[in-house]
Structure 1
Amino acid sequence: MGVVPVFHRLLGHPRGPAHFVWFENYTAILASAQVHLRALTTLIYVVGAVTLQTVLGFAIAYLISRRTRGRGLLTTLFLVPMMLSPVVVGLFWRFMLDAQFGVINSMLGSLGLGQVEWLTRQRTALISLIVVDTWQWTPFIMLIALAGLTAVPKYLYEAASIDRASEWFKFRTITLPLVWPLLLIAVLFRAIEAFRLFDLVYILTNGGPGVSTETLSFHVYKVGFLGFNTGTASAYGILMVLVVIVLTQLYLRYLNKLKED
């Protein structure tokens, strides 16, 4: 008895010859309602997490850039979450968000706000994932935005001050236009990273409750490693890569057009 028959027997699959299915895997994926639901979940997660990280990261960077003392210490403290492993972050927040013993619910209970089932309800599970990812990766946006803010020439602000320009005018006409292209690059990196999210989902919710937090990457894992359907999982991976390539090319064209303008 060889290795291959034993493997098929252990998995419960009948042994048979391989055959080429052409594009059946791709058509089945594109027509699947389950895939559409996972794609919508992934889209909500990516848009929510990246938008929140961009706003918070730029706001923190802007406040730090205006300080003259303690800037290095503040930057280092804010960078700590980004240096942690996603598995460690997931376990850390899983204990904090526990409905019975978590410190978050303990704080809410002390304020008289009651307990919230953060990871076991569909309405709050995806929000919890967005919050945890924002906590870890907002420093990335902050770091890039801070680099752009410190690179803005000081004489522009001095000239605007001589003309008695307001702080809002300086921000709208000097700060934001010069930092915006660099900030868009950071958004691109974070969007690609969030699109392939797997580790936090695996640690915090395992795709639940139900399939409310099952992203495309986690669904590929279930199809390939739990369902042993490697052909469909490979088609998933190729389609996801193609989506990232197409969206990245469109995004880079927008950046080049912005740079020319």
Structure 2
Amino acid sequence: MTGTDTPMTPDNKAQAHAVRQAELRKRSSGRLMIFGFLSPTLAILLFMVAYPIFSLVYYSFFNFSALRQTTMKPVGLGNYSFLLSDPELWGRFVFTGKFVFICVALQMLIGIFVGYQLQKNFRGRDVIFTILMMPMMLSPVVVGFLWRYMLNSEWGIVNFLLSSIGLPKVDWLGQTNAALWAAAAADTWMWTPFIVLLATAAFRGIPETIYEAAEVDGASPAYRFFRITLPMSAPVLFIALILRLIDSFKQYDLFVALTGGGPGSSTETVSYAVAKTAFSYFYTGEASALAVILLVIIIGLSMILVRHLTKMGEKY
């Protein structure tokens, strides 16, 4: 023991213990205060998120109709086996997959290209950017009806332009393949501005000194784009991809306004089938099971993409 050391007397030990107890009480009160502020929000989230999901899963195991709430017959996995053995449902999954792939691919390609052009400073840039953002501000139902009038086989503006250059008219909404591309065009027109917005923000966040150093080293514009711009903005673009993928899988109101699920039921997405089963036929149990299947698919794809996003964030 040196001369500067203070011996631990009983009074010193009691004082140190009292200080520790005061610190513990202060931390506990802080935690209680934080929990008190968060508890209303947590309660709302628990009610608005957890309860509907629990109810959805619960009802999926019953032969249940919202019109006959007293007759809930447990069927186990019967609703799931019935749905997964339905060839029409697999057709809806195929159609939904095609729609999602076309929309997300077009929106990402066009959005990245336009965003890369808009990151540059030039006269009229803000005006062009504002105009491009306008479709995203509309309701999907409004967009659906707008494109429905534009694609009318008799007096729509699209067929008028085709006729003016000598091309035959196309029954855009009366053929399955044509209706698929029509819906993809409408969705792309509406949501590409979202990708443009995120891509422009990501590109403008890259330090200009990196481009200047690459230009001094003689890097070509293509090299700078693929080796600097895309890798450094990849996390933001990946988030945009995840959000658009999830939203495209849930697309319902656009098809209601644009095609009404026709011709026949060939343009019904899985979300459209859920709403139709639940609110047109009132087969609540089957609709709940179908919604759970769609939810599992979306969560699975999201988890895979988020895992890649996490690796990408660690890399860049």
TM-score normalised per structure 1: 0.92
SS at the partner of 1:19?
A: strand
User: Is 2:308 aligned against 1:254?
Assistant: yes
- Tell me the distance in 2 between the aligned counterparts of 1:110 and 1:64: 33
SS at the partner of 2:127?
A: helix
Query: Match for 1:164 among 215, 218, 228?
Result: 218
Partner of 1:36: 90
Instruction: Judge which range, 92-101 or 15-24, deviates more.
Output: 15-24
The alpha-carbon deviation at position 99 of structure 1 amounts to 0.4
The alpha-carbon deviation at position 14 of structure 1 amounts to 9.1
Instruction: Judge which range, 218-227 or 73-82, deviates more.
Output: 218-227
User: Is 2:210 aligned against 1:153?
Assistant: no
Larger radius of gyration: 2
* Structure 1 stretches lacking a partner, 5+ long: 1-10
Q: How many residues align?
A: 250
Residues 1-261 of structure 1: pairs in structure 2 closer than 5 A? 17-261=71-315
Relative to 1, partners in 2 of residues 1:20 and 1:62: Cα closer, same or farther, differing over 3 Å? same
Kept after mapping to 2: 8 A contact 1:119/1:125: yes
Partner of 1:8: none
Kept after mapping to 2: 8 A contact 1:126/1:212: no
**Between the two proteins, what is the percent identity of the paired residues?**
40
The alpha-carbon deviation at position 68 of structure 1 amounts to 2.8
SS at the partner of 2:72?
A: coil
The alpha-carbon deviation at position 16 of structure 1 amounts to 7.6
Q: Deviations over 1:74-116 (max 9, x none)?
A: 1111000000111111111111100011111111111111211
The alpha-carbon deviation at position 228 of structure 1 amounts to 1.5
- Tell me the distance in 1 between the aligned counterparts of 2:189 and 2:223: 31
- Tell me the distance in 2 between the aligned counterparts of 1:235 and 1:56: 36
Structure 1 residue identity aligned to 2:195: I
- Tell me the distance in 2 between the aligned counterparts of 1:53 and 1:233: 30
Kept after mapping to 2: 8 A contact 1:86/1:200: yes
- Tell me the distance in 2 between the aligned counterparts of 1:33 and 1:59: 39
- Tell me the distance in 2 between the aligned counterparts of 1:234 and 1:78: 38
Instruction: Judge which range, 75-84 or 107-116, deviates more.
Output: 107-116
Q: Which consecutive aligned stretches of 4+ in structure 1 deviate over 3 angstroms post-superposition?
A: 13-17
